[in-house]
Chain A
């Protein structure tokens, strides 16, 4: 028994000495001394884009002593949103998370303010896209910083040969790849002239196609069309404004336009318009360059005739749907400072250029100066300059379905597909304008509940 007591005393003495050594020893920097950082981000559809992002993040992690892991989470089946819901409720998971479009608003109470980061980025690199401010600057607080990948817009994607041959329109002269535009020609590209073209192209079996379903693509093109007519289901102050002349006007327009669209658009998903165009069946869609990229690989003859260009102009202006992506930091993250440093690093011009090249021009930086000084879109082809107008070059205003409603309501207008369903009720269901508007008002009241 005596021996056992002696051993315990020695053990305690030893541990005490070790504690003193640890507490007083000089700090030794190890390869992971800045802690761990877990990133959950969107799984890019462009082959190789994830690899470039991983390389960039790992380079930063290596030079800053951070033990970094990065998970690419698909948006198919809304998995990116589902994972965010799970992590925000469980208060565990990644430290930095990708929050596209309306998600900063949905998770604003769980996202760490990043005003210092965004202010540093703006002062170093210049202004962000106006869409970025609308979606991520909430109640005077930035809840997300520009994501290194994913931000996109929805230009018109049209077949040059079909427009020339059947509609008598040369899109490359209206929206050239560089150089000055002819303002008269651009001004004449309105929804009325688009309707006329759609009629002619439908007559030769090459119609315009876009989903009228509550999918992101369906919301996006209808959002820009509604905005061009000044048609809002809710205004910026949160009042329901769906019962308006502008809404009736846009529904009237869509009643005519849908006559020249395939009947199946009411069941289309986000890939349907891609297949429609790549197969050579369609003449126009509203989409990022995925149609061109895939057809370049699978249907080069189609790809060589594609051209990205501005949306038509409506009575209230020209609008382009856009989906900005942000990276936010969960407030339960144990390494917020490392996350902020990473966000600053990813905004550097050299880093952004690498990432844009990795995405083959799919990603449009939210930092305006970064895309204005990048020639990648100008040089893409064939046809040469096909992507030049993919970033906004003219008078288009970025928008999306739900704008200008306050973000907490706009997110629900988008998610519940109020615009596509409103349109489908009239153009497919045969509802009168009043009945469809009455339905939308009822839905909007549901969205606004406290």
Chain B
């Protein structure tokens, strides 16, 4: 065994300072390696989050501390409750359809022979890869209130034009449609990865036991994907609740505020109207609900992982 503290030709041991020893520790190296990421999260996530909490506790002129008054004030606003209702409806419907389409598409892609699979995977990821503000602009051209391309086709087929963006129902339908189009590939790729990680032995054993395709899906595939489904749905709910760009580009919250979500309404109140504290309160309103949801889902995931 060579004593690393000595060098050849020297009878005196080289003294290593405590700093050197500290820096050589694995935990220190690990910390140094994640430090850039911690700094980024600290500057771009943690600081804005706590700053927005601070802002939401100020009065309109940002000169006095008002505690939770801004949140209590929102309870009395009719338009705000409409925004809450719309955000919940939008998030739930969009996530359900994204998960469903992603699940079906993942199975479809998984059943394609591996030679051509990469091509299909790449194509189906395109909506998720394009910056949403740009792709939504493309959708806006298709839905354009007066010169909609979709309506041009419908009318050419002898059908009635649809008020895609000017009618409350259709405007809500349109923003959900675009959100599902953008977000479904994320579910696809996550579910596809989960499908590929399920051991083939399980399916073989199920086949030997005479299980049908449906039974394999219910008793093998879904239980084995449950964790990834939970995490994906949780992530998507949080992101969908926070959606901004689709509404901003497509409807700007209209008609009659009927497509505003938390983020777009927060922008309208905080930035455009100059009431930053109230805008911050709007944007933080769902945080406790989503935090509890995240806690419950992640705890269930952890428990299932331990049981496995």
Contacts and interface: CB of A to CB of B under 8 A. Distances in A.
Interface of A: 77-78, 81-82, 85, 106, 213-215, 262-269, 272, 275-276, 279, 281, 411-412, 415-416, 421, 424-425, 428-429, 439, 442-443, 446-447, 449-450
Contacts of A281: 146
Contacts of B275: 412, 449
Contacts of A412: 273-275
Contact of B146 (A82, A215, A262): A262
Residue in B78, B253, B256 whose Cβ sees the most chain A Cβ within 10 Å: B256
Given A267-B165, A267-B254, A428-B256, A446 B146 contact: no
6 contacts: A214-B254, A264-B146, A265-B145, A279-B147, A415-B274, A443-B77
B108 interface: no
User: What are the 6 closest A-B residue pairs judged by CB atoms, nearest first?
Assistant: A267-B166, A264-B145, A267-B165, A267-B145, A266-B255, A415-B273
Interface string B45-85: 00000000000000111000000000001001111000000
A449 B60 contact: yes
Grouping DSSP codes into helix (H, G, I), strand (E, B) and loop, the B interface class, with mixed when no group exceeds half, is loop
Contacts of A213: 252, 254-255
Interface string B137-178: 000000001110000000000000001111110010000000
Nearest to B270: A85
Contact of B271 (A81, A215, A425, A442): A81
B167 to A, nearest CB: 8
A177 B248 CA distance: 41
Nearest to A443: B79
A281 B168 CA distance: 25
Residue in A267, A415, A428 whose Cβ sees the most chain B Cβ within 10 Å: A267
A107 B23 CA distance: 51
A215 B251 CA distance: 11
Contact of A415 (B76, B168, B272): B272
A266 B254 contact: yes
B257 interface: yes
B165 A78 contact: no
Given A272-B146, A275-B146, A443-B79, A425 B274 contact: no
Interface string B245-262: 000100111111100000
A450 B76 CA distance: 15
B272 A81 contact: yes
B182 interface: no
Contact of B59 (A267, A275, A446, A450): A450
Contact of B272 (A78, A267, A429): A78
Contacts of A215: 252
A267 B78 contact: no
A334 to B, nearest CB: 24
Interface of B: 59-61, 73, 76-79, 145-147, 163-168, 171, 248, 251-257, 268-269, 271-275, 278
Nearest to A86: B271
B255 A424 contact: yes
B252 A428 contact: no
B85 to A, nearest CB: 15
Given A267-B145, A276-B146, A443-B79, A411 B255 contact: no
Nearest to A89: B276
A394 to B, nearest CB: 32
A421 B253 CA distance: 11
B163 A263 contact: yes
Given A412-B274, A421-B257, A443-B79, A264 B163 contact: yes
B274 A272 contact: no
Contacts of A267: 145, 163-166, 171, 251, 254-255
A391 B254 CA distance: 32
Given A264-B163, A267-B166, A78 B271 contact: yes
Contacts of A279: 147
B179 to A, nearest CB: 18
B227 to A, nearest CB: 40
Nearest to B248: A77
Contacts of A450: 59-61
A77 to B, nearest CB: 8
A450 B70 CA distance: 10
B245 to A, nearest CB: 10
A425 B7 CA distance: 86
Nearest to B133: A77
A3 B77 CA distance: 79
A271 to B, nearest CB: 10
Contacts of B60: 449-450
A450 B145 CA distance: 38
Contact of B274 (A106, A268, A428, A449): A106
